[in-house]
Amino acid sequence: MNELVLVTGGTGFIAQHCMLSLLAAGYRIKTTVRDLAREEEVRRNLKTGGAEPGERLSFVRADLGSDEGWSEAARDCAYVLHGASPTPSGNHQTEEDWVRPAVDGNLRVLRAARAASVKRVVLTSAFGAIGVGHKTLDRPFIETDWSDLSGNVAPYQKSKTLAERAAWHFIAEEGQGMQLAAVNPTMVLGPALGPDYSHSIRTIKEMLDGQPGYPRIKSCVVDVRDVADLHLRAMTDPAANGERFLATSGDSLFLAEIAKILKENMGPAGAEISTNQIPDVVIKTMALTNSAMRGLVPLLGVKLDASGEKAQRVLGWKPRAPKEAILATGESLVRLGLVG
């Protein structure tokens, strides 16, 4: 299994767990970073995850905003796992700052992959490309659903929706036989590998640090190790070509319910955790003067169940229970000394 796989955005949480799964399966890896000085950090995180790849892992400098580096990155690769994308960092000033790099970045990677005769690209999309902007559904979201951009959709979710649509359009019109599959995770939890963690992991850290309460917002949960496993299945299984797969492991949970799981199972490390649910009227009042709170109002009390049945049926995927993913997150943050 000595094939070479490109994993874009090598400093990312999902990307590093994908690399761990690829290494365990015997693949060689190239990964892209915007700054080659971060190679040591990536290798250190992989070691935390139990892998020391040595020469089986190489690094290429590439940025979604430039063509430079992408041809080199894709050269000789059999597959591409493309997860590099703008994430909620607070540095984006306009909607276009989110959308343009995501859409253009997808197209850059796809063009480079096509030129390198890559067999298949697996795109890391998001639940945000499926389940936002809708009125409440009376069923779980599935892969045929697309986010309604005429509704109330945050810039990050809009970027993921438009970027995924652009990828499918490219494959249909310009793919020249190259294959594409997409993985759409819900809230990704699981073992953190270092201090540069995802937005979802930050939510758990804030709970452990004693956040006083939570808006009445729900989310499904999936373990990052299962997301990585689904990427590998989507990469190689013939049945995955041309398909989207929701990565989710159960019904949606209120944030306060997630906090309760942590508090009941984390022992002394969970002592500061609050399980308070903030009344909707408080959030709505705060939203009158706070733009961050304003963005939460449309989500209050909304049922956001999603089904992972397709991935289980088509690809044999077997995700961990939400409780296991939640506790693995908290335990890793404590183990790495990242709480408090």
Catalytic residues: 160
Q: Residue 272 in 3-state DSSP?
A: coil
Phi, psi of 253 (to 5 degrees): -120, 145
Do the bridges between strand 218-219 and strand 120-124 make them parallel or antiparallel, or are there none, so unpaired? unpaired
Would you say 22 and 232 are in contact if contact means Cβ atoms under 8 Å apart?
yes
Q: What angle do CA 102, 36, 111 make, to 5 degrees?
A: 40
Which tokens hold the place of 200?
A: 């979802």
230/123 Cα distance (integer angstroms)? 11
| Residue carrying the six token digits 């493309």 | 82
Do the bridges between strand 28-33 and strand 57-61 make them parallel or antiparallel, or are there none, so unpaired? parallel
| Residue carrying the six token digits 């389940």 | 131
What lies within 8 Å, CB to CB, of 202 at 6+ separation is none
Would you say 33 and 70 are in contact if contact means Cβ atoms under 8 Å apart?
no
Which tokens hold the place of 227?
A: 């997301």
What lies within 8 Å, CB to CB, of 292 at 6+ separation is none
DSSP output for 98-162: HHHHHHHHHHHHHHHHHHTT-SEEEEE--GGGTSSSPPPPSS-B-TT----TTS---HHHHHHHH
Which tokens hold the place of 89?
A: 């960092």
181/284 Cα distance (integer angstroms)? 39
Residue 187 is classified by DSSP as E
What's the burial of 246, exposed, middle or buried (CB within 10 Å: 0-12/13-18/19+)? buried
